[in-house]
Amino acid sequence: MNDLFQNPLCRPFDFPGSSQHGVLLVHGFTATPGTMLPLGKALAQCGFRVKGILLPGHGTNAEDMELRRWPEWLAAVQAGFDQLVSECGRVSVAGLSMGGTLALLLAQTRPVYRAAVLCAALRVRNRASRAARILWPVMRYHTQAPFSYDGEFLAQYNACYDRTPVRSVAELNALMRHTLHGLKGVRCPLLVVRAGQDETVLPVSAEIIMNRAASTHKRLLTLLNSPHVCTLGPERERLFAEIAHFFGSP
């Protein structure tokens, strides 16, 4: 069992920048802000005001996560957005995996300037996860062997739990359903990023967003050689440049 309390890469981060344009960064399921930190640094160097949040139940331990519900994750994202709005003229958001799902839901409830959704989780590869609501009373945790990546992957930033609370998977499923049903309410410009080597989220997730979101300005970017955590993968520099360009002036 791992405990992430003491890992500095698992903590929220803030970078000062322009009072005109803030960017909120949201990590994924069982992960931590470290997965978004290289992106945050790149955007800060471009002049953006950047805030990377820690979702409730993350960056601690699996027992803590098991107690959390998806509305708490959304509330944390909304609170982070509201804080940036109080400091900046406009606020964009970038989310990875479940963070991308939350970014889409945020865009349904807040005046998001632009949203970059990276490997947003709407359809996942693990079919057994669909039964989490039935399984969690008898199967508390699921353990999976970690994926191995080549030297181009920034593994030290990828701190996450070594086991997943099955009840939390049920919460993720509920979040995905809720987000799917409201996609027509997403009207801000969208950069939808799909990873060609995604081992977690099905590529159809990106197609669903492109087809259902009401945004008139939508762009699909495919990173052919990137894994699910594309912010740490071999095409990360291209990804960071594309996001900065999409967000526009700091």
Average pLDDT over residues 105-117: 97
- Higher pLDDT: 148 or 233? It is 233
Catalytic residue among 18, 92, 97, 205, which?
Answer: 97
Catalytic residue among 27, 168, 198, 205, which?
Answer: 198
Contact 145, 67 (CB under 8 A): no
Looking at residue 160, which CATH number applies to its domain?
3.40.50.1820
Is residue 123 one of the residues assigned to a domain? yes
Is residue 2 one of the residues assigned to a domain? no
Which residue type occupies 122?
L
Find the radius of gyration of the CA atoms of the chain: 17
Is residue 18 one of the residues assigned to a domain? yes
Is residue 3 one of the residues assigned to a domain? no
pLDDT of residue 131: 55
Is residue 70 one of the residues assigned to a domain? yes
- Higher pLDDT: 159 or 138? It is 159
Which residue type occupies 95?
G
- The answer to whether 198 is a known catalytic residue is yes
pLDDT of residue 205: 97
Catalytic residue among 21, 27, 58, 228, which?
Answer: 228
The residue segments making up the domain with residue 137 are: 8-247
Is residue 52 one of the residues assigned to a domain? yes
Average pLDDT over residues 31-48: 97
- The answer to whether 97 is a known catalytic residue is yes
Overall number of domains in the chain = 1
| Tens of pLDDT, residues 42-84 | 999 999 999 999 999 999 999 999 999 999 999 999 999 999 9
Is residue 26 one of the residues assigned to a domain? yes
- The answer to whether 205 is a known catalytic residue is no
pLDDT of residue 1: 43
Q: Which of 30-39, 43-52, 157-166, 217-226 has the lowest mean pLDDT?
A: 157-166
